[in-house]
Amino acid sequence: MLFFKKGLRVLFIVGVLLLLAGCYSSEQDNAGAAALIARQASVKIEPSAWLVYWDLDNGEKELKKISPRLESLSFFAAYFDSHEKLFIPKALLEKRTKLKKQGKYVEYLTIVNDQVKTNSSPSVKNTEILKSVLGTDEAMDAHIKEIITLAKAGNFDGVEIDYERIWRDATTKKLFMKFIERLYGVTQAQGLKLRVVLEPGTPFSTMHFIAGPEYVVMLYNLYGTHTLLPGPKADRAFIQKILANMAALPEPKSVAYASGGCLWNTKGQRRLLTEKEAVDIIKKHNLQPMRDVESQCLVLKYREGIVFNYVWFADATTINYWISLAKEDGIKNIALWRLGGNSNIENIK
């Protein structure tokens, strides 16, 4: 077993070195990205962002910096209790009550398929609960009614559905498509807007999404805590591939980019980082980050004893490069995951 673990460690280091070999860049190497950003600078984006229940105070500070420019703000999120009933976390409700609208943006209530269970860890991206609440016409109608009731009670302008891992199961994806069509009809009747968040692996060309809702496609999670090797949340090839796949989606459509990044080490640990946490690592260890050419992410590597650490993260320059790729494809609606933990959010344009 010890030999096996050492072998994995060696493979990890070799894999990382191969990835890092492509990161070393000069100003000339990054000139192409800078030129693309400059060419697209005159194209104004229509930005939106998420305010999350676990980082409300930091999120509020960043909201104040960008609120005049925001088209919409999503309050993240309502999810399921142990009885399969939706609820909004108390802290999120209280913050929204205290938070006066600082711009003319649309306010969405995000609904996710997470569930908190009594005396157990939360179940995130739970598709079984979707089969329960969408499994029959009666259950689906009750779920839609519950969503509308929450949105109306909170005086939200719209509803945002962020149900994930739904495409792996034939039953779930069929139920989801039926649900979106029926929910859209009800939101229209109730004077509410509807946004639907979709994962990058969504089978856009085969699912025949209805026209009407705004579709927001996540252009991240290329690398992260789910991958053994380190790398960027998104890069040029990944973004351009998903943008091409999105051609099958009806308008209006948007893309979402994620700030921050992830840390991997040779102990097998993987954890998400905000941009500010990554900057703290730079200061603590007196590091000189490299900028990866293909993703424009900043890359760190440092040692603590016998443990090697690797960090990839996005800053404002990274996000602006990703945005320019979307602009080049004709998409101006840009969503940012998330408010909180960003060093210079006002520089994202």
Question: Cβ atoms within 10 A of the Cβ of 121, count?
Answer: 7
> Which of the listed ranges 35-39, 95-99, 266-270 does the model predict with the highest average pLDDT?
266-270
- Res 2: pLDDT: 44
Q: Can you read off the two tokens belonging to residue 149?
A: 């009731």
Contacts of 226 (CB under 8 A, 6+ apart): none
Give the mean model confidence (pLDDT) for residues 40-50. Answer: 92
**Backbone angle region of 191, left / alpha / beta, with phi > 0 → left and psi within -120 to 50 → alpha:** left
**Backbone angle region of 278, left / alpha / beta, with phi > 0 → left and psi within -120 to 50 → alpha:** alpha
Q: Are 67 and 103 in contact (CB under 8 A)?
A: yes
Structure confidence at residue 291 as a pLDDT band (50, 70, 90): very high
Integer Cα distance of 65 and 344 in angstroms: 9
**Greater model confidence, 136 or 37:** 136
Place of tokens 């790729």: 325
- Res 41: pLDDT: 82
Contacts of 10 (CB under 8 A, 6+ apart): none
- Res 42: pLDDT: 85
Integer Cα distance of 279 and 156 in angstroms: 35
Please state whether the peptide bond connecting residue 247 to the residue before it is cis, i.e. omega within 30 degrees of 0.
no
Least confident among 4-13, 217-226, 270-279, 304-313: 4-13
**Is the pLDDT at 283 greater than 70, yes or no?**
yes
Query: Across the chain, what does the average pLDDT equal?
Result: 93
- Res 324: pLDDT: 98
Q: Estimate to the nearest angstrom the gap between the alpha carbon of 157 and the chain centroid.
A: 21
pLDDT digits (tens, 9 = 90+) for 71-102: 999 999 999 999 999 999 999 999 998 887 77
**Is the pLDDT at 239 greater than 60, yes or no?**
yes
pLDDT digits (tens, 9 = 90+) for 102-113: 779 999 999 999
- Res 117: pLDDT: 84
pLDDT digits (tens, 9 = 90+) for 172-182: 999 999 999 99
Give the mean model confidence (pLDDT) for residues 303-313. Answer: 98
Give the mean model confidence (pLDDT) for residues 281-303. Answer: 98
> Which of the listed ranges 12-16, 28-32, 226-230 does the model predict with the highest average pLDDT?
226-230
Integer Cα distance of 52 and 74 in angstroms: 8
Q: Exposed, middle or buried: residue 7 (CB in 10 Å: 0-12, 13-18, 19+)? A: exposed
**Is the pLDDT at 4 greater than 50, yes or no?**
no
In degrees and rounded to multiples of 5, residue 75 shows phi and psi of: -90, 115
Bridge partners of 270?
264
- Res 49: pLDDT: 99
Q: Can you read off the two tokens belonging to residue 161?
A: 């559905």
pLDDT digits (tens, 9 = 90+) for 181-202: 999 999 999 999 999 999 999 9
pLDDT digits (tens, 9 = 90+) for 117-166: 877 778 999 999 999 999 999 999 999 999 999 999 999 999 999 999 99
- Amino acid letter, residue 292: D
State the architecture of 43-259+326-347 in CATH terms: Alpha-Beta Barrel (3.20)
Q: What is the percent of the chain with per-residue pLDDT over 90, rounded to a whole number?
A: 83
**Is the pLDDT at 3 greater than 50, yes or no?**
no
CA distances from 201 to 59, 149, 166 (A): 28, 31, 10
**Is the pLDDT at 40 greater than 90, yes or no?**
no
**Is the pLDDT at 25 greater than 70, yes or no?**
no
Integer Cα distance of 164 and 172 in angstroms: 10
